[in-house]
Amino acid sequence: MKIAIIDYGMGNIHSVAKALEFFGAAISVTNKKNDIAGCDKIVLPGVGAFDDAMAELEKQGLDMVIKEQVKNKKPFLGICLGLQLLLEDSQEAKDKKGLGILKGRVVKFKAGAGQKIPHMGWNDLKVISGDCSLLSGLPTGSQVYFCHSYYPSPLDESIIAATTDYGLEFPCVLWKENVYGVQFHPEKSQAVGLKILENFVNLC
């Protein structure tokens, strides 16, 4: 089992790679299109701004290889900004559109009573889809670590596998066929996050 972690200069790559290796995966941290195409699964991490991330993906031709490999039904995991990039556009973006693999957009939290932006720290998962293999063995109430000001809003609510409450109930895990995305950081989420990454390694 070989997993490509796409290195486009905007990801928390080291800790993700170490966690996946712990569960027996061979890891290729790469921005080379042939290497990505040759792997069994793909992870797109991400921290930073939507426009900058899409600009880097397009500059390196990685947007096209991602779309091609997803179309070929290769298991794909987007983490934090890596999830947001899967959608069509973002309120954060000034110039760039997203990959458009999932229909919908990324929206910004509105400041509410007692809710600070960014949403940072531990919060509960509410598991919506018991069929989502990425969440296998994780009950509602499992805690994961967030750091974000924007969240995904898919057009098709049936792809929402889990939500979190932060002044509003927002989608934090999306799943459509071979495509998975998490708004939180599994690599920072201790035992729960490790279970999610183990589940990804074990996907058929």
Catalytic residues: 80, 185, 187
The 104-108 sheet, strands edge to edge: 89-90, 104-108, 150-154
Query: Angle of helix 62-71 relative to helix 50-59, nearest 10 degrees?
Result: 90
User: Measured between alpha carbons, how far is 10 from 110 in angstroms, rounded to an integer?
Assistant: 25
The region that residue 153 occupies, defined by phi over 0 for left and psi between -120 and 50 for alpha, beta otherwise, is beta
User: Measured between alpha carbons, how far is 135 from 116 in angstroms, rounded to an integer?
Assistant: 27
DSSP SS3 for 44: strand
Rounded to 5 degrees, φ, ψ at 183 are -80, -25
- In degrees, rounded to 5, the angle at the alpha carbon of residue 146 between the alpha carbons of residues 142 and 148 is 150
